[in-house]
């Protein structure tokens, strides 16, 4: 019973701190809104570099993490593959990851030429896989 009492006291203290923080946040927000933003010009965004796709690294530029991910995914596809394209759901089950994470991996591998998309959610290992 003493433990419950101490937890209630701690809860009450934390709620008080939360109220103080909320009041401080409101005060800072009022100060921000009170500043006349028309006097100072808005900062210009930095110029963007030439758009390079993160999904298309040049040959030999695969990071160790990407290389390991590619090897695991290709192995999972080959393990399930029986000469037929494999459903993304089956690949994700084989890898033990979620469907969206698997879709992201397959999209990356497709972009660098390791897998081919066949139909909606079917994939197979590319006929010629670039060197890992």
Residue 58 has pLDDT above 60, yes or no: no
Strand partners, 125: 115
Sheet strands (E) in the chain: 86-87, 115-118, 122-125
CA distance 71 to 64: 10
Write out pLDDT tens, residues 2-11. 888 888 888 8
Domain that holds residue 12: 1-39
Say whether both 68 and 30 belong to one domain.
no
Position 93 pLDDT exceeds 70: yes
Judge if 69 and 120 occupy the same domain: yes
Domain count, the chain: 2
* pLDDT for the residue numbered 13: 86
Calculate ∠ Cα 25-31-36, nearest 5°. Answer: 145
Query: Angle at which helices 88-95 and 64-80 pack, to 10 degrees?
Result: 120
119, 71: one domain: yes
Considering all CA atoms of the chain, what is the largest pairwise distance in Å, rounded to the nearest integer? 69
CATH number at residue 105: 1.10.10.10
pLDDT in tens, 99-123: 889 999 999 988 888 889 988 888 9
In a domain, 69, yes or no: yes
């Amino acid at each position: 019973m003493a433990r419950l009492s101490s937890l209630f006291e701690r809860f009450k203290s934390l709620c008080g701190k939360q109220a103080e923080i909320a009041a401080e946040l409101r005060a800072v927000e009022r100060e921000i809104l009170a500043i006349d933003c028309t006097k100072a010009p808005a900062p210009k965004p930095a110029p963007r570099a030439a758009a390079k796709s993160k999904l298309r690294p040049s040959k030999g530029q695969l990071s160790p993490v990407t290389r390991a991910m590619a090897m695991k995914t290709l192995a999972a596809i080959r393990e399930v593959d029986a000469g037929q394209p494999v459903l993304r759901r089956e690949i994700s089950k084989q890898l033990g990851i979620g469907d969206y994470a698997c879709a992201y991996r397959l999209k990356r591998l497709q972009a660098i030429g390791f897998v081919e998309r066949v139909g909606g959610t079917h994939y197979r290992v590319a006929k010629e896989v670039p060197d890992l």
